Amino acid sequence: MVKLHCGSKLLDLSQPAVMGIINVTPDSFSDGGQFYSGRKLELPDALRRASDMVNAGAALIDVGGESTRPGAQPVALQEELDRVVPLVEAMANELDVVISVDTSSPDVIRESAAVGAGLINDVRALQRSGAMAAAVSTGLPICMMHMQGQPQNMQDNPSYDDVIADVGVFFERRVAEARAAGFSSGQIILDPGFGFGKAPEHNLALLKRMGRLLRFDCPLLVGLSRKSVIGHVLGRDVDQRLAGSLALALLAAQNGASIIRVHDVPETIDVLKILAAVDQS
């Protein structure tokens, strides 16, 4: 697949695309609270940040209104709607970019699609009641992620017989169920779920052998930006993980990722430009 139809926009995946992260949450692990004044969401600040990412070269912006960091607690539906939908609508009106919505809620899926979202990105792989039907009703492509457990407990004691095989079995089932629900092969993206119910050794093994997941003929989305595996390897705090994030972005692209989800868009764009120049030489 080279082009993905995302509502009114066409996403070119002939080269790895960069997805910028906008978390409109007070508690995300890296950038939580960035767009809040007290408890009030500062929409213009979030929109300005999204615009900066687009100008830097992001092909997608992923908007999330519920933190899924380890130990995160669920967010009330209305609060998630209030965080996400106004920003999606403002971005759709002002920016030329594919807007991805990071949600597991059927209501947020439907409302976001109605105001201009182009991709549904669900860490729970549309397993919440009503989520698959809501996603089908939008006509938008989906990204389904692997997670062992739930955010509240996923890092308590992750265990696998073979992480790449276990993730593959999960994807086999979810892809079959998505197709049965009405999604075509050209509408499904898969995310191995780095950092979601996985110890550092699982994340590293998964990245090394990620190419085995290309057998589903679905684009792979990878999110490794600033994650704890970098801290484990380098001993760096979350605000000192740029070099590690860029190294993992490069490895992910070389191992078959079509979409790289990151906080640091300009730097990641530079890395991928170098990779493309070498590949084309």
Tokens found for residue 248 = 């993992």
CA angle 122, 50, 76 (to 5 degrees): 45
- Give the β-pairing of 257-262 and 17-23: parallel
Query: Of 203, 195, 223, whose CA–CA distance to 72 is shortest?
Result: 195
Strand spans (E) along 129-233: 142-145, 188-191, 220-223
Cβ-in-10-Å burial (0-12, 13-18, 19+) of 231 comes to: middle
Listed in sequence order, the residues at least 6 apart from 44 whose beta carbon sits closer than 8 Å to its beta carbon are none
Backbone phi, then psi, for 11, in 5-degree steps?
-100, 120
Whole-angstrom Cα distance, residue 103 to residue 224? 18
Catalytic residue among 69, 83, 226, 261: 261
Structure tokens at 48: 């300005």
Q: Please state, in angstroms and rounded to a whole number, the distance separating the CA atoms of residues 18 and 2.
A: 15
What is the SS3 assignment for 7-38?
Answer: CCEEEECCCCEEEEEEECCCCCCCCCCCCEEC
Of the candidates 227, 236, 241, 273, the residue annotated as catalytic is 227
Q: Are 189 and 140 in contact (CB under 8 A)?
A: no
Determine contact, residues 219/252, Cβ cutoff 8 Å: no
Query: Is 227 labeled as catalytic in the residue annotation?
Result: yes
208 is annotated as an active-site residue: no
Nearest to 119 by CA among 202, 216, 189: 189
Active site positions, annotated: 227, 261
